[in-house]
Structure 1
Amino acid sequence: MSGNHYKGNEVSCCIKYFIFGFNILFWLLGMALVGIGLWAWSEKGVLSNISSITDLGGLDPVWLFMVVGGVMFILGFAGCIGALRENTFLLKFFSVFLGIIFFLELTTGILAFVFKDWIKDQLNLFINNNIRAYRDDIDLQNLIDFTQEYWECCGAFGADDWNLNIYFNCTDGNPSREKCGVPFSCCTKDPAEDVINTQCGYDIRAKPDSEQKDYINVKGCVPQFEKWLQDNLTLVAGIFIGVALLQIFGICLAQNLVSDIEAVQASCDLFCFQLATCTSFTRFTGGLQPSTDPTTL
Structure 2
Amino acid sequence: MPVKRYRRDQSEVSCCLKYVIFGFNVIFWLMGLSILAIGVWAWTEKDTFNNLSRLTNIALDPAFVLIVTGLITFTIGFTGCVGALRENTCLLACYAIFLAILLLLEMTAGILGFIFKDWIKSQATNGFQAFIVHYRDDPDQQNLIDWIQEKWLECCGIEGPKDWDRNVYFNCSSEAVGSREACGVPFSCCKQKANEIIKNKQCGYDVRKQDYRLDASHIYEKGCLQAGEEWLERNLLFVAGVAVGVAFLQVSQRPDANFDNQKMPLRVS
Is the TM-score greater than 0.5? yes
Q: Which amino acid aligns with 2:192?
A: K
Contact persistence 2:48–2:55 (CA under 8 A):
no
What displacement does 1:79 show? 0.6
| 1:193 counterpart residue number | 196
Structure 1 residues 169 and 91: alpha-carbon distance in aligned structure 2, compared to 1, 3 A threshold: same
Structure 1 residues 58 and 176: alpha-carbon distance in aligned structure 2, compared to 1, 3 A threshold: farther
Q: Which amino acid aligns with 1:152?
A: E
Unaligned runs of 5+ in 2: 1-7
Q: Which has the larger radius of gyration?
A: 1
| 2:220 counterpart residue number | 217
| 2:206 counterpart residue number | 203
Q: Which stretches of structure 1, 4 residues or longer, exceed 4 Å deviation after superposition? A: none
Structure whose residues are more often strand by fraction:
2
Q: Distance in 2 between matches of 1:133 and 1:122?
A: 17
Q: Distance in 2 between matches of 1:31 and 1:102?
A: 22
Task: Write out per-residue CA displacement over residues 20-56 of structure 1, whole angstroms, 9 at most, x where no aligned residue.
Answer: 111111111111111111111111111223x234234
Contact persistence 1:156–1:222 (CA under 8 A):
yes
Contact persistence 1:83–1:91 (CA under 8 A):
yes
| 1:5 counterpart residue number | none
What displacement does 1:209 show? 9.6
Q: Which amino acid aligns with 1:169?
A: N
Contact persistence 1:58–1:129 (CA under 8 A):
no
User: Which one of 238, 241, 248 corresponds to residue 238 of structure 1?
Assistant: 241
Q: Which amino acid aligns with 1:81?
A: V
Contact persistence 1:98–1:247 (CA under 8 A):
yes
Q: Which amino acid aligns with 1:84?
A: L
Task: Write out per-residue CA displacement over residues 90-138 of structure 1, whole angstroms, 9 at most, x where no aligned residue.
Answer: 1111111111111111111111111111111111111001110100111
| 2:20 counterpart residue number | 18
| 1:248 counterpart residue number | 251
| 1:137 counterpart residue number | 138
Which shifted more, 213-222 or 179-188? 213-222
| 2:72 counterpart residue number | 71
What displacement does 1:57 show? 7.4
Structure 1 residues 166 and 134: alpha-carbon distance in aligned structure 2, compared to 1, 3 A threshold: same
Unaligned runs of 5+ in 1: 1-7, 279-297
Task: Write out per-residue CA displacement over residues 144-180 of structure 1, whole angstroms, 9 at most, x where no aligned residue.
Answer: 0000012110011111111111000112644311000
Equivalent residues in 2 for 1:57-96 (5 A)? 59-96=60-97
Q: Which amino acid aligns with 1:68?
A: T
Structure 1 residues 236 and 223: alpha-carbon distance in aligned structure 2, compared to 1, 3 A threshold: same
User: Which one of 139, 162, 165 corresponds to residue 164 of structure 2?
Assistant: 162
| 1:282 counterpart residue number | none
Structure whose residues are more often helix by fraction:
1
Q: Which amino acid aligns with 2:124?
A: L
| 1:153 counterpart residue number | 155
Contact persistence 1:181–1:204 (CA under 8 A):
yes
Q: Which amino acid aligns with 1:201?
A: G
Q: Distance in 1 between matches of 2:182 and 2:225?
A: 24
Task: Write out per-residue CA displacement over residues 186-209 of structure 1, whole angstroms, 9 at most, x where no aligned residue.
Answer: 011102211110000001011479
SS of 1:192's equivalent in the other structure is coil
Contact persistence 2:58–2:64 (CA under 8 A):
no
Aligned residues: 259
Aligned Cα root-mean-square deviation (Å): 2.4
Structure 1 residues 58 and 67: alpha-carbon distance in aligned structure 2, compared to 1, 3 A threshold: closer
SS of 2:208's equivalent in the other structure is helix
Structure 1 residues 12 and 47: alpha-carbon distance in aligned structure 2, compared to 1, 3 A threshold: same
Contact persistence 2:36–2:71 (CA under 8 A):
yes
Q: Distance in 2 between matches of 1:53 and 1:179?
A: 25
SS of 2:136's equivalent in the other structure is coil
Higher RCO (Cα < 8 Å, 6 or more apart):
2
Contact persistence 1:57–1:133 (CA under 8 A):
no
